[in-house]
A and B are shown apart, each in its own frame.
Chain A
C-alpha cells in the first residue's frame, strides 16, 4: 500500500517533472508574448535539437548536456532566419503564422526522416542510471539536471528581461506594440531576436529531453500540446507563470494515480481539460490569482 515514502516520491517527481515541463515551455511563452503567435514549429525545434545533439554525441562523443549548449547558436540563428524569411511576412495574422509554422513542422519531420531515418534513437551516458538517495528515496540524476537547468533558465530570463536593453524592448513590445514603437523601439528587430531566443530555448529543452527519452522524427508532438496547456495555465505571458503552470500540471498528473479507479491512460486528459477550463474560467492563468497582472517580467 501507499506509505509515506511513496507519497514523498510522488511529490519529489512532481517538482522534478514540473521543472522539465517548464524548460520545454519557456520558448513557446516568449514567442507568444512578443508576437502573440503560437509556434507550432516548437516540436520540430525540439526534435531537430535532439537529433543534432545525438549526431554530436555519436561523432565526437559529446555529452548531451554540453551538446544542448553547443547547439544553441545554430538554433538561435536558424530561428532568426526563419523569422526573417517567413514568419514576419505573416506575423500579424496569428492563424496564418500558426499554419505556416505547422508547414515548417511537416517539412522538418520529413527532412529528419531522410537524414536520420525513423528508428528510435537514444543516448546512454555514464550517469543515465546514477541516483541520489534522499531519505531512502532514489532520485535520478538525469531528472535533477533538467530541473536545475530550468531554474537557471528562469533566473537568466528574468535577469535578461529586467536588465538588458533587448530584454526591456521585448517586454515593451509584448505589452503594447504601438506604444513600444512610439517609444522608438524597433519592433521588427526585437521580434526577430525574440524568435531566435525562443527557438534557442526550445532547442535547449529538446537537447535535455534526450537524457530521459528515446526519440524519432515524430518526437515532440505530445510535449508541444502539454506546453500549450502549461503556458495557458501560466497566463500565457509570464515566465514565473509558466513555471507555476508546469508545476501545477505535473503535480496533478502525478497525484492523479491516487484517485481510486483512475486509469493512467487518461493522464493527457488532465492537460487538455485544464487547457480548456483555464481559458474559459480563468483566462489570466493561475498567476492571475496571485499577482496583479504584470506581463513578461513576472
Chain B
C-alpha cells in the first residue's frame, strides 16, 4: 500500500516536471502558416472558404439551414463570375465539415480545415457553445471568421481580433423587448408599473436575456417590476410547477426565453392551465412554423424578437424569400437569412480588402459598413470587439397564421401591436 501511495506522488511530480520542462513558450500563439502573406497582386483563381457546422446531432436542423444559406450565397457569387478581389474575378470553393454538434470535434475540425485546406477565411458554426469552442482558432491562425450562429454576448468579451458576428446578441433582444414594452406602457395599453414574471432556460442564451430584462427593470422601477425570476432546464419534461409559480406571481406580463421544443411544451401547458397575461413573449420564439403547427390558435398574439422574418416587406427581403423558395422550395426563416447574410458580409469584406491576406481582410471587416443587408435596419457593422451592431425586428402572431411587424416603428410594414392580448 505504501508503495502505491508513493507511486502516486512520484507520478504527480513527474507530470509537473515533464510539463513544466516542456513549456518553452507559453504565451506565444501558434505561428501561422496559412497567413504568410501573399503579395497583393498575386490573387489566386479560386479561394477556399471553410465552415464547420452541426449537420448531425442535436443541432442538425439549424446546421442544415446554415449550410443552405452559405451555399446559396456562394452559388450566387460564382454564378456571377466570381468575387471581385482587386479587379480579378475569383471563384469561391466552400468547404463544409460536420462536427456532429460536439465541441471537441468542432474545434478539432476547424483546425483541420485551417491547416489542410488553407482557407482564406472562415464562416462560423451554429449555436453559441460550438462557436465558443471554435473561436480560439481565427486568432491563433490569423484567419478571419464571420459567424451568424452564436448570440451570447460572452463571445465578444474574449479579446478576439479575427472574429466578427452578425447575429445581434441576446442582451439586445431583452433590451428591445423592454423598449417595446415601455412604449406601450406610456401609450396606456399596458399597466404602470408592469409586473413581469420572467422565466428563462438555463443556458447562456437565457442568462443573457434574463440579465438584460433585469437591468432594464432596475433602471426604470416606475415602469417595470419583476415579480418572478426563475430558470428552467433545457428540454424539460414538465412545466406545470413552474407555471403554477408564474400563476401565483400574479404578473401582467410573462417573459420566457426558450428554445423551440420547450416553447411548444411550455406554451401548450400555459394554455391548458388557463393562464393569461396582458403580454406574452418567448424571446426569439413565436412565428416558427413548427410552433404554429403544434400550438394552433393558442399561439395568437405572442410577441417575438427576431433577427429576420419573411414578413419583412423591404425589397431585399422579398427578393431573398423568393430566391430561397425557388432554390429550396421552402419558406426561409431567420436561420437561412442570417447564414446567407453572414456569407455575404464576409465576401464583401474580402472584396473590400482587395487581398487574400488574413490580416488585411480582418482590417477590412473591422471597418466595414455593409449597407445592402436584408437584416432589420439594413446595415451590418461591427464594434471594436467584433460584436454586431444590428437590430431585432419584433413580430406578433395574429389569427390565421398571420405575422405582423410591430417594432421598431421605422420598419417598413410596421403596424401597431394588439395589446393587451385579447382575453379568451
Judge A-B direct contact (beta carbons within 8 Å).
yes
Q: Interface of chain B, helix or strand or loop or mixed?
A: helix
Partner of B241 from A13, A215, A222, A223 at Cβ < 8 Å: A13
Closest Cβ of chain B: how far from A233's Cβ, in Å? 16
- With the chains together, A10 CA to B247 CA distance in Å? 12
Contacts known (A222-B235, A226-B237); A120 close to B260, Cβ less than 8 A = yes
Q: Please tell me if B294 contacts chain A, counting CB pairs below 8 Å.
A: yes
List A contacts of B260 (CB < 8 A). Answer: 120, 214
Tell which of B230, B248, B260 has the most Cβ of chain A within 10 Å.
B248
Are B296's CB and A129's CB within 8 A?
Answer: yes
Are A122's CB and B242's CB within 8 A?
Answer: no
List A contacts of B201 (CB < 8 A). Answer: 265
How many residue pairs bridge A and B at CB < 8 Å? 115
Contacts known (A140-B269, A214-B264); A263 close to B231, Cβ less than 8 A = yes
Are B261's CB and A213's CB within 8 A?
Answer: yes
Q: Please tell me if A159 contacts chain B, counting CB pairs below 8 Å.
A: no
Which of under 10, 10 to 19, 20 to 34, or 35 or more describes the interface residues of B? 35 or more
Q: Please tell me if B271 contacts chain A, counting CB pairs below 8 Å.
A: yes
Q: Please tell me if A6 contacts chain B, counting CB pairs below 8 Å.
A: yes
Contacts known (A212-B265, A214-B260, A255-B241); A264 close to B64, Cβ less than 8 A = no
Are B264's CB and A257's CB within 8 A?
Answer: no
Are A257's CB and B237's CB within 8 A?
Answer: no
Closest Cβ of chain A: how far from B409's Cβ, in Å? 33
Partner of A119 from B61, B202, B231, B247 at Cβ < 8 Å: B61
Closest Cβ of chain B: how far from A221's Cβ, in Å? 8
Are A253's CB and B238's CB within 8 A?
Answer: yes
Are B296's CB and A128's CB within 8 A?
Answer: yes
- With the chains together, A112 CA to B183 CA distance in Å? 47
List B contacts of A3 (CB < 8 A). Answer: 248
Closest Cβ of chain A: how far from B30's Cβ, in Å? 35
Tell which of B199, B231, B232, B244 has the most Cβ of chain A within 10 Å.
B244
Are B241's CB and A120's CB within 8 A?
Answer: no
List A contacts of B232 (CB < 8 A). Answer: 264-265, 267
Are B261's CB and A142's CB within 8 A?
Answer: no
Contacts known (A13-B240, A264-B231); A214 close to B60, Cβ less than 8 A = no
Q: Please tell me if B45 contacts chain A, counting CB pairs below 8 Å.
A: no
Closest Cβ of chain B: how far from A208's Cβ, in Å? 13
Are B240's CB and A120's CB within 8 A?
Answer: no
Contacts known (A10-B241, A226-B237, A256-B241); A119 close to B265, Cβ less than 8 A = no
Closest Cβ of chain B: how far from A252's Cβ, in Å? 10
Are A9's CB and B233's CB within 8 A?
Answer: no
Closest Cβ of chain A: how far from B301's Cβ, in Å? 15
The 3 closest A-B pairs by CB, nearest first: A140-B272, A265-B202, A122-B294
Q: Which residues of A contact B (CB under 8 A)?
A: 1-3, 6, 9-10, 13, 17, 110, 113, 117-124, 128-129, 131, 138, 140, 142-143, 212-216, 218, 222-223, 226, 250, 253-257, 263-268
Known: A9-B244, A120-B294, A131-B274. 17 other contacts (CB 8 A): A9-B273, A13-B238, A110-B56, A113-B56, A118-B61, A120-B290, A122-B264, A122-B290, A123-B294, A124-B294, A129-B268, A129-B296, A213-B261, A216-B61, A256-B241, A264-B232, A264-B241
21 contacts between A and B (CB under 8 A): A120-B260, A120-B264, A121-B290, A122-B293, A124-B296, A129-B271, A129-B296, A131-B274, A138-B272, A143-B272, A212-B268, A213-B237, A213-B264, A222-B235, A250-B238, A253-B238, A256-B241, A257-B245, A263-B202, A267-B236, A268-B233
